[in-house]
Structure 1
Amino acid sequence: MSVESLPLDQKTIDVLSGVTTATLTTVLLKKGLRNVWLRGAMPLVAGRKRIVGRAFTLRFVPAREDLATPASWGSPISTRAAIEAMPSGAIAVVDAMGVKDAGIFGDILCARMQKRGVAALVTDGVVRDAEGVLASNLPVWCSGAAAPPSVAGLTFVGWQEPIGCGGVAIMPNDVLVLDGDGAVLIPAELLDAVVDAAAEQERLEGWIMQQVEAGEKLPGLYPPNKENQARYDAWRATQKT
């Protein structure tokens, strides 16, 4: 059974848009989560702005000859049908099992996703029709490109259900943040706590960078000891929240 897609409030998007994925992995590590960075999902185009959105999940399994056929593209359970269920602002997260010799989406599907307002496509697999995908202007994080279609190596089986992508367990409506360092997962249940901690961690690291540029030594500064924490707290108190 697929899970209903939930919206993500603009305040959360605004805060996380100002937090790097590197900072988020530190915050999540402090909360006991180590496996949050999706292996193999890197920006197809460098220099994309940071993207934040809820996960709309899609799942492939290994190809089986009676199921993975061009005729399956017209099935009620197909990537085409899944795209029509994607809400605006969602990030399509596709479990392609790390397969790199079968492109899960091409130019037409990416163009349709862009028209529907999908924020981005993220996969541990690859896309096809790379030039057309780039022309669609849909932001894509993936492992590269390959000419063969998905059915050459994969069978599509459903959407909005738990998946594994890049070695990370992802549930529908979890939150992803994408930037030049890749894609990082924030579990939905931890979202509020992570947002608060991430904004503060980013602020602290900004202050630490100021100290480094002023010539301060790293021991006792990063991470701050009691003295430097007190200095930071005093500085923090003078800043607008």
Structure 2
Amino acid sequence: MYVIKEMPEQVPQEDLDLLAGVETATVGHWRLLGFMDRNIQPLLPGRRVVGTAVTVAIAGPDSTLLHHATGLLRPGDILVVDRLGDDKYACWGGGVTVAAKAAGAVAGIVDGPCTDLSEITESDFPMWSRGLSPITTRLYDLGGGMNIPVCCGGAVVMPGDAVLADESGVLILPRQEVRAVAEEALAIQGNAANRDAILREKRHKLGDLSGASAMILAKLTE
């Protein structure tokens, strides 16, 4: 059985442009929700992408729906694949990469392994996954869901959510929260840049700037 819903409304480009300047680790200083399991890691180094989540849920050795889904992708989409607990079969390889990139997708995220790393690298297509596997899926026509709520790396992903992925991991944000989160993160990053300049110039020590040294000295004098 297949459940295929309408393609979601894309996140406004101005919100994505703002989010593009944010590091996932900055948001991790205060936010706990929306982060995928840390074992979902980038296959290509040094990349940061933002886009609109298009979701797919497929089980075990079958990737029939994933092949179909690549033909529905739009420029700016990020395909998020829920493998429904499978960690053996690689559903994403060179062919899916070429198809997704040709459709204009900016990245893929798989809660399971991928394959064909050299082809993914040659395509210069950012991917996040749970590593690599030589055992691939087939077209078994077992069914699945597209543009439905999924769970990827422990994070709930709704079709149309915003995705921010970089070298530290993957963050999912409801579209109505993107601007507020991005603005707060950019303010923190600006403060951090000022702090780092002070530390490099040896004007203050880190413990003094963060308040850690004051906390410790207060305990020592009790």
1:84 — aligned with what?
71
The residue type paired with residue 87 of structure 1 is R
- Cα deviation, 1:125-174, whole Å, max 9, x if unaligned, reads 11123322322222111112212222499955011111100111111111
State how far apart, in whole Å, the 2-side matches of 1:166 and 1:154 are. 25
1:8 matched residue in structure 2? 11
CA distance in 2, matches of 1:156, 1:121: 20
Q: Name the residue aligned to 2:117.
A: 130
Q: Find the aligned partners of 2:73 and 2:51 in 1 and give their Cα distance.
A: 12
Q: What are the residue-to-residue correspondences of 1:85-234 with 2, within 5 Å?
A: 85-97=72-84, 99-151=86-138, 157-215=144-202, 216-219=204-207, 221-222=209-210
CA separation of 1:39 and 1:163: change in aligned 2, threshold 3 A: farther
Change (3 A) 1:153 1:125: farther
Cα contact 1:39–1:124 (8 A) shared by 2 = no
Secondary structure (helix, strand or coil) at the match of 1:92 reads strand
Matches within 5 A, 1:59-78: 59-62=57-60, 68=62, 73=64, 78=65
CA contact (8 A) 1:126 1:144 kept: yes
Normalising by structure 2, report the TM-score. Answer: 0.82
Measure the CA separation in 2 of the matches of 1:34 and 1:160. Answer: 21
Q: Is the 8 Å Cα contact of residues 93 and 123 (structure 1) preserved in structure 2?
A: yes
The 1:57–1:2 alpha-carbon spacing in structure 2 relative to 1, beyond 3 Å, is: same
The CA deviation string for residues 45-92 of structure 1, in whole angstroms up to 9 with x for no partner, is 2122x11111111112346xxxx4xxx73xxxx212211111111111
- How far did residue 35 of structure 1 move? 4.9
Could you say if the C-alpha distance between residues 213 and 3 of structure 1 is closer, same or farther in structure 2, counting changes exceeding 3 Å?
farther
SS at match of 2:159: coil
Number of residue equivalences: 208
Distance 1:112 1:168, change over 3 A: same
RMSD over aligned CA atoms reads: 2.6
- Give yes or no for contact 1:86–1:116 (8 Å, CA) kept in 2: yes
More displaced 10-residue stretch of structure 1: 113-122 or 5-14? 5-14
Is the CA contact 1:25–1:34 (under 8 Å) kept in the aligned structure 2?
A: no
- Which runs of 4 or more aligned residues in structure 1 lie more than 4 Å from their structure 2 counterparts after TM superposition? 151-156
Q: Which residue of 1 aligns with 2:216?
A: none
Q: Deviations over 1:88-126 (max 9, x none)?
A: 111111112453321112211110111111000011211
- CA distance, structure 2, for counterparts of residue 199 and residue 108 of structure 1: 37
State the match for 1:51 in structure 2: 49
User: Which letter maps to 2:210?
Assistant: Y
Q: Which runs of 5+ in 1 are unaligned?
A: 225-241
